């Protein structure tokens, strides 16, 4: 690969790392500061949900815009929007200001989908899964470090210190992208300048209608919905089933992040070259099914860590493989739109998944969200298996 393209990959990966480092600073602190500002539990829930809801509504718009004007300007605008949202969080003196900061962050959160489209533009097809794995690893490492740094900053300077640190990271991120990131989308692959833009949700049926891409987008939604059941109830399960405290839960989340980062950052390239994306995608989903079922049933924390490692490895190979396949199957002038819509679907899954997980945990029992997650992951695997069988020519061409 030419040095220029390797440099562009590094800058994009660094962009995602800084973005998630800043994101990780904020997320664990939202409930604490909203409660300190006397927000009601319902309003705290709205603060947590508004980011994903805005992403659901606006990610397709940013994706399509990047197909028209290029990836670079959309990345620069989204990073600048993140910086402003952090400043609003730093200046917040009531829960309403925190809500506004998360709303703005969700509207301008085009970083991940546009970065995925950028990587697709500059990376040869056979290397895209490895490159998507590096993005996933940067995502994981940034989110591991962010909460730890945020906790130290919060103890020292409250939400002002956390917000300004996030704004500083976003400023460094923006400057790095401005100085070192060339445009990746060639003029011939851009959409017509006269094409009209419609309400963001109009893009969803357009993408689902693209051959093969639509089914994989639904697979992604199903898998993320499954994992959202775990994410929204795991702390409660760890407390009531395994007797773990807040610190121990933080260690387990960090452990999950490290396992995922190792797989995505170090192993996915070799595994993809040996087995191919479709086998890794199917195997990754099926590997998670028993792990999800066993999470609430382990006799000790040690055994819990074993099944969590299996789940993390399955997710670590499935995520980059799915994104690699999407990058190959999406038309060159619609990659931004495709990744925007898949990010939007992921955000929707993170809105409705936790709602179901919390309700089922409280009304059906502690194991209910994990049984649901295992069933959904199995459905995702079955859809992938059916797709492999029915789309043999396309799969063969993509590998």
Residue range 231-250, pLDDT digits in tens: 778 877 888 899 887 567 76
| 196 DSSP 8-state letter | -
Burial 295-315 (b: 16+ CB within 10 A, else e): bbebeeeeebbebbbbbbbbb
Domains 1-180 and 203-399 fall in the same CATH topology: yes
Q: Delimit the domains of the chain by residue range.
A: 1-180, 203-399
pLDDT for position 164: 95
- Has domain 1-180 been given CATH number 3.40.50.720? no
The 10s digit of each residue's pLDDT in 67-94 is 888 899 999 999 999 999 999 999 999 9
CB atoms inside a 10 Å sphere around CB 390: 11
Q: Does the pLDDT at position 398 exceed 50?
A: no
Q: Taking the alpha carbons of 244, 250, 251, 254 in that order, is the dihedral positive or negative?
A: positive
What 176-182 contacts at long range (C-beta under 8 Å, 24+ apart), as own/partner pairs, is 176/11, 176/14, 176/15, 176/18, 177/11, 177/15, 177/72, 177/75, 177/76, 177/79, 178/76, 180/7, 180/11, 181/8, 181/11, 181/12, 181/15, 181/72, 181/75, 182/4, 182/8, 182/72
User: What's the confidence (pLDDT) of residue 399?
Assistant: 45
Report pLDDT for 228.
Answer: 84
Distance between CA 137 and CA 317 in Å, rounded?
Answer: 11
Distance in angstroms (rounded) separating the CA atoms of residues 272 and 134: 13
Please check the confidence at residue 198 and state whether its pLDDT lies above 70.
Answer: no
Rounded CA separation 374/285 (Å): 9
Cα-Cα-Cα-Cα dihedral sign, residues 10, 15, 19, 25: positive
Burial of residue 120 (CB within 10 Å: 0-12, 13-18, 19+) is buried
The predicted pLDDT at position 31 comes to: 64
- State yes or no: pLDDT of 332 exceeds 70: yes
Report pLDDT for 247: 66
pTM over 0.75: yes
b vs e for 23-55, b when ≥16 Cβ sit within 10 Å of the residue's Cβ? bbbbbbbbeebbeebebeeebbbbbbbbbbbbb
Report residue 33 as tokens.
Answer: 């500061």
Q: How confident is the model at residue 28 (pLDDT cuts 50, 70, 90)?
A: low
pLDDT of residue 117: 85
pLDDT, residue 137, reads 79
pLDDT for res 136: 76
* More confident site: 271 or 22: 271
In the block, tokens 């939202």 appear at 30
Q: Which fold has domain 203-399?
A: Growth Hormone; Chain: A; (1.20.1250)
Lowest mean pLDDT among 29-38, 53-62, 154-163, 175-184: 29-38
Beta carbons of 177 and 11 less than 8 angstroms apart: yes
Backbone φ and ψ of 331, nearest 5°: -60, 150
Of the chain, the percentage scoring pLDDT greater than 70 comes to 90
The more confidently predicted of residues 380 and 153 is: 380
For residue 4, name the pLDDT band (cuts at 50, 70, 90): low
Q: What is the pLDDT of residues 264-309, one digit of tens each?
A: 877 888 888 888 888 999 999 999 999 999 999 999 999 999 999 9
């Amino acid at each position: 690969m030419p040095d220029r393209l390797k440099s562009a990959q590094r800058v994009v990966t660094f962009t995602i790392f800084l973005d998630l480092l800043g994101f990780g600073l904020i997320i664990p602190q939202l409930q604490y500061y909203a409660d300190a500002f006397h927000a009601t539990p319902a309003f705290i829930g709205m603060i947590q949900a508004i980011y994903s809801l805005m992403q659901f509504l606006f990610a397709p718009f940013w994706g399509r815009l990047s197909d028209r004007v290029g990836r670079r300007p959309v990345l620069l605008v989204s990073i600048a929007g993140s910086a402003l949202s952090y400043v609003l969080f730093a200046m917040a003196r009531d829960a309403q200001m925190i809500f506004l900061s998360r709303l703005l962050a969700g509207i301008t959160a085009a970083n991940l989908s546009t970065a995925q489209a950028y990587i697709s533009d500059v990376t040869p097809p056979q290397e895209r899964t490895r490159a998507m794995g590096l993005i996933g690893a940067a995502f994981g490492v940034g989110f591991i470090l962010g909460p730890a740094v945020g906790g130290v900053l919060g103890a020292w300077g409250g939400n002002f210190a956390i917000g300004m640190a996030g704004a500083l990271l976003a400023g460094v991120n923006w400057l790095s992208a401005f100085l070192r990131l060339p445009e990746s989308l060639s003029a011939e692959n851009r959409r017509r300048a006269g094409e009209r833009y419609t309400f963001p949700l109009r893009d969803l049926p357009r993408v689902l209608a693209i051959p093969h891409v639509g089914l994989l987008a639904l697979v992604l939604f199903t898998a993320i919905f499954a994992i959202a059941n775990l994410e929204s109830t795991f702390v409660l399960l760890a407390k009531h089933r395994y007797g773990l405290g807040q610190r121990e839960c933080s260690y387990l989340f960090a452990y999950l992040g490290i396992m995922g980062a190792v797989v995505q950052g170090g192993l996915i390239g070799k595994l993809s070259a040996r087995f191919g994306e479709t086998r890794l995608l199917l195997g990754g989903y099926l590997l998670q099914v028993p792990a999800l079922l066993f999470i609430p049933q382990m006799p000790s924390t040690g055994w819990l860590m074993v099944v969590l490692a299996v789940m993390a490895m399955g997710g670590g190979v499935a995520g980059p493989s799915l994104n690699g396949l999407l990058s190959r199957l999406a038309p060159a002038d619609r990659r931004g739109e495709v990744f925007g819509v898949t990010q939007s679907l992921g955000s929707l899954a993170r809105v409705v998944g936790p709602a179901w997980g919390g309700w089922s945990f409280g009304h059906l029992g502690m194991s209910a969200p994990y049984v649901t997650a295992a069933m959904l992951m199995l459905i995702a695997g079955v859809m992938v298996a059916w797709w492999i069988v029915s789309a043999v020519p396309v799969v063969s061409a993509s590998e």
